[in-house]
Each structure stands twice: as C-alpha cells, then as structure tokens.
Amino acid sequence: MELSGLDPERVEAVLLRYGGAGPRYTSYPTAPAWSASYDARCFAEDLAGLAPGAPLSLYVHVPFCRSLCHFCACNRMITHDPALPERYRAVGQPVVIPGSMGTASYVLAGTDAGLALSFGSTCHGAGRAMSRGAAKRARTGAEVRHELEARGIIVRCPSSGELAEEAPTAYKDVERVVDVVHRAGLARTVARLRPLGVVKG
C-alpha cells in the first residue's frame, strides 16, 4: 500500500506502540444535544432554572497545564516553563482540529482576533453528527474497517462496536468546520494532515 514514501511496517509499529486504551471525553453533552436553535435565550432560561446557591460547573480549557489530569481527557501540552506561551505569541497558539478516522485533521495557529472573539478558544474536533448508538445502527464495524483499509488506512481495533460508533460518517465535515474557524478569524490554517492509521481500544 502507498503511504507517501513512509514505510508501512514502521507506521504499523508506531500505531501498535502508542495504541493503548485512553480516557474518553464524556464530560459534557455530546454534539447531537446541541443545535443552532440553542441560543442566548435558551442559555438564560437554563441558568434561571437553577436553584439559588446550586453548584455550577464551567469547563475552561487551559492550553498550557503544569500537570496532566484525566478529568476532561483532553490532550494538553504540559510545561513547567511559564514563559513558554510567550514563545508562541508571534506565530499563534497551536490548534489541532481532528476530523475522524477517515478524514483529514488540521493544524492551525491562534490569532489575536480569536482572543477577542472567543477568549482564545476554538473547537477541538469536527464534532459528532450522530450519537454513538445511531452510528452503530447505521454501519457495522466490519464495513467501517473495510472502507478505511480500502483507502490505505491501517486499522487496529479489537472492538467492532467501537469502530462502528467512531465511523467517519458519524462526524461533521471537518473541512467545513475548519473553513468556518479560519474565516471567522479564530485561528488560521497551517497544515492539513491525512490519516495513515487508526488505533482504538
């Protein structure tokens, strides 16, 4: 199989080496629970519905953490050098927007405009277009594996169910997502990455 000059055995060895199980990001409602119809009015109604004094959790992403925790299962850059973010000011905070197992992922750089527009925050993936259950009902893991391998993508996943729920069709179009992020000025596109292998488990 052609992998743009990369040795397929080396790619597979790397996938096997780093293919251990990891935490899943499930600390907020999945994408199908959100829609464009959920606006400021809905948000205000939800806040007004909270009991006085009830605890409220906020998710705030800190891109340079001093230690790794597994609360949000987010990928973070761990640093003990508080000056590190300063080094990125000229080029912009690195942003990675993954697509799916079968689509591109992108590397972007944050912008000054992004700080004003969204406090320097952007999406951390293409986002799900369907729930895990719906994805499993739509396609089998064997179908997903066959499709990916036919495109030259190495697949290592012991669970057909997990492979089905992560099918590329279960995710939004990452090209459109990145285009919106780029055109909105939240971050500028730097590189498009093509998947060579997938490890799930």
- Residue positions annotated with a catalytic role: 124
Instruction: Provide the residue type at 55 as one letter.
Output: P
Q: What ranges in 19-111 are assigned the alpha helix state H?
A: 40-48, 84-87
Q: Is residue 168 part of a domain?
A: yes
Give CA–CA dist 80/95, Å, rounded.
20
Identify the domain containing residue 130 by its residue range. 8-20+91-199
Q: Is residue 29 part of a domain?
A: no
Q: Is residue 86 part of a domain?
A: no
C-alpha dihedral sign at 33, 114, 107, 64: negative
In this prediction, residue 25 carries a pLDDT of 46
Tokens of residue 131, six digits = 């729930």
Give CA–CA dist 142/129, Å, rounded.
20
Helix (H, G, I), strand (E, B) or coil at 72: coil
Q: Is residue 108 part of a domain?
A: yes
Does this model's pTM top 0.85? My answer is no
In this prediction, residue 53 carries a pLDDT of 81
Please state, as a whole number, how many other Cβ atoms lie within 10 Å of the Cβ of residue 57.
6
96 closest CA partner among 201, 193, 200: 193
Tokens of residue 82, six digits = 């508080």
* Residues 152 and 4 sit within 8 Å (Cβ to Cβ): no
Q: Which residues of the chain have pLDDT under 50?
A: 1-3, 22-33, 60-62, 71-73
Q: Is residue 45 part of a domain?
A: no
Quote the number of domains for the chain.
1
